[in-house]
Structures are given as structure tokens and as C-alpha cells.
């Protein structure tokens, strides 16, 4: 029997591990297959307080993990394959092991939707990005492209005009899905251009280890061409890692965990932190803050039960 099991080892999960460990709750952290979360794919982090020269994403995750371990957090590799929160104690299956716990903190994050290209994965963090707020600063006076046509894509494009000399939105249809007011803002911005009815078939150039352009295909004519750029931003949505909780916890229409009182979910004793419930900010700093909240809420809840 565990006091607390934490699902996920990104910034939210590791912060929750640190706080619960310091509260002498001896947390167990299920790391997940992609241990460390999206920061493990980030080369440079310059917007996290305390590092004026910036820090590499994997280095930051390693420091957080070692700090949590110092105070007694235990880590188990692998993914949670099944979770039962409908009865107490809660049960978490990790491969061939079953752990029982009084409290559960869900911090499994969310995955940015990608195109599925090999070059995309190879160049992620080397010109391919899923977060304009995180990486826009690195593309000052450069030409970048944004893939997508919804509000998120247009918000990213408008934000990037603060830094880039030119922002081109690539959309597979001939009109945007974004709200009318967002569309008008983009159309009125002289730094933003559009390539319609097109998809990215290839990202150039893996051999150079950086983005130098994209290969585009017109979905109506089949015409292919190359377009130079130094940055490519994916803005085709995020998928929260909450599939294990469908039918158990209250989720919104996109799969995010709905929070009630602070970090409390719809089931007492189950808490959520990070991108599983954050559909707006998705920053390292906000993930850390939510991990802290979930840990404190879990500690107080444990104190309140017999």
C-alpha cells in the first residue's frame, strides 16, 4: 500500500514527487515510456526562472528527478497499463506489477499532434517546434512556417510575428477553421502569409541537422514544391494522455481532466497536474506550479481521511 502514486515524470510529476517526498509520504513515480515528458525533446529552455543562461531540457529534468530522489521519491520505469480509481484503494498496473495507493496524482502530460514524418521527429528541437511561446525567441529576423488552420495555429502565427521577419501559415484547406476575429487579425498582419490547399510532405534537411525548408504538396493539383524556412511550428492540436481514465473521471470534450476544487478531480483522492488538465498555458513554469498544488492537496486530503 502506497500513500501516493504519481503518474508521469515531467515537470508537474517531478514537482509533485519532490513535495510529497518532503512531506514524508514516500511517493512512487511511474515514469512512463517517454520519461521526462516533452522537455526531453527540448534543446534549450530560456523561459524557466533561475537560469539566466538557459538550460537544456533533459538537464532540467535530470536535476528535478535527482532532487526528488534525494528526499525519498521512488521511481519505476514503464507505462501504467491500467488504472482503477472507482474503488479504494486505487490500483495502478505497471506491466506485470500492481500497486495500491491511497492517493493518486495524474501528471501524464499531453502529446502534440504531429505529421508523422521521420524528418519531423529527427528535427524536433532543431527547427521543428510545437510551442511558439517556448521557441519563438530563437527565430528573430528569420522566416518561419506554421502548420494548421485553427485558432491555435493563428495565435501561434501572430505571436511569432514579434520575432520572425515572415510567418507563413500552411493549411490543407482553402479557408481557415479559426474564429472570424482571429482570421481577420492574421489577414491584416503584413508579416503573415498563407499557402492554401497544401500539406508538408518533407522537412529539409535532416543531413544538415537543422530546418532549411519544407517540401509541400498541393492536395488539389498534386503539385509539389519546396519552400525555404528556418523554423516549422506544428499547431494541429494536443492530445492529453488521459485514455486510461475515460469512464472513470470527468473529462472535457477534448479529453482534458476537469478540475473542481483546486487540483481535485471528480473522484476524491485523485488529483491532476500539468497538461492533462491544462488546455491553455502548457508551460514548464505552470506545470511546476500545478505539481506543487496537487502534492499539497494530496497531503491535506490524506490527513483528512481516517
Identify whether the C-beta of residue 165 lies closer than 8 Å to the C-beta of residue 138: no
Rounded CA separation 139/132 (Å)? 10
Binning the chain into helix, strand and coil, the percentages to the nearest 5 are: 30, 30, 40
Identify whether the C-beta of residue 111 lies closer than 8 Å to the C-beta of residue 241: yes
Rounded CA separation 237/112 (Å)? 6
Burial degree of 14 (CB within 10 A; 0-12, 13-18, 19+): buried
The b-or-e profile of 37-54 (16+ CB within 10 A means b, else e) is bbbbbbebbeebeeeeee
What is the residue-wise DSSP string for 237-250? -EEES-GGGTTTS-
Question: What is the strand order of the sheet 192-195 is part of?
Answer: 128-129, 231-234, 143-147, 166-170, 192-195
Give catalytic residues, as residue numbers: 131, 134-135
Nearest to 43 by CA among 144, 137, 140, 147: 137
DSSP, collapsed to helix, strand or coil, labels residue 286 as helix
Amino acid at each position: 500500500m502506497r500513500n501516493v502514486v504519481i503518474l508521469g515524470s515531467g515537470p508537474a510529476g517531478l514537482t509533485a514527487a519532490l513535495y510529497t517526498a518532503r512531506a514524508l509520504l514516500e511517493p512512487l513515480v511511474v515514469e512512463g515510456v517517454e520519461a521526462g515528458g516533452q522537455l526531453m525533446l527540448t534543446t534549450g529552455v530560456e523561459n524557466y526562472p533561475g537560469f539566466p543562461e538557459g538550460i537544456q531540457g533533459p538537464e532540467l529534468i535530470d536535476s528535478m528527478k535527482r532532487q526528488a530522489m534525494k528526499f525519498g521519491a521512488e521511481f519505476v520505469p514503464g507505462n501504467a497499463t491500467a488504472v482503477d480509481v472507482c474503488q479504494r484503494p486505487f490500483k495502478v498496473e505497471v506491466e506485470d506489477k500492481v500497486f495500491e495507493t491511497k492517493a493518486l496524482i495524474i501528471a501524464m502530460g499531453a502529446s502534440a499532434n504531429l505529421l508523422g514524418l521521420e524528418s519531423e521527429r529527427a528535427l524536433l528541437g532543431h527547427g521543428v517546434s510545437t510551442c511558439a511561446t517556448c521557441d519563438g525567441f530563437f527565430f528573430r529576423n528569420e522566416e518561419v512556417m506554421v502548420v494548421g488552420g485553427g485558432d491555435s495555429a493563428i495565435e501561434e502565427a501572430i505571436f511569432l510575428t514579434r520575432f520572425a521577419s515572415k510567418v507563413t501559415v500552411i493549411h490543407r484547406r482553402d479557408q481557415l477553421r479559426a474564429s472570424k476575429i482571429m482570421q481577420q487579425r492574421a489577414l491584416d498582419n503584413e508579416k503573415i502569409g498563407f499557402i492554401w490547399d497544401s500539406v508538408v510532405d518533407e522537412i529539409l534537411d535532416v543531413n544538415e541537422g537543422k530546418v532549411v525548408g519544407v517540401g509541400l504538396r498541393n492536395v488539389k493539383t498534386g503539385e509539389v514544391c519546396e519552400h525555404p524556412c528556418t523554423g516549422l511550428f506544428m499547431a494541429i492540436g494536443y492530445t492529453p494522455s488521459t485514455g486510461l481514465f475515460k469512464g472513470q473521471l470527468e473529462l472535457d470534450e477534448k479529453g482534458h481532466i476537469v478540475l473542481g476544487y483546486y487540483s481535485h478531480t471528480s473522484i476524491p483522492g485523485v488529483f491532476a497536474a500539468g497538461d492533462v488538465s491544462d488546455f491553455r498555458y502548457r508551460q514548464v513554469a505552470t506545470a511546476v506550479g500545478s505539481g506543487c498544488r496537487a502534492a499539497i492537496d494530496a497531503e491535506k486530503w490524506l490527513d483528512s481521511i481516517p
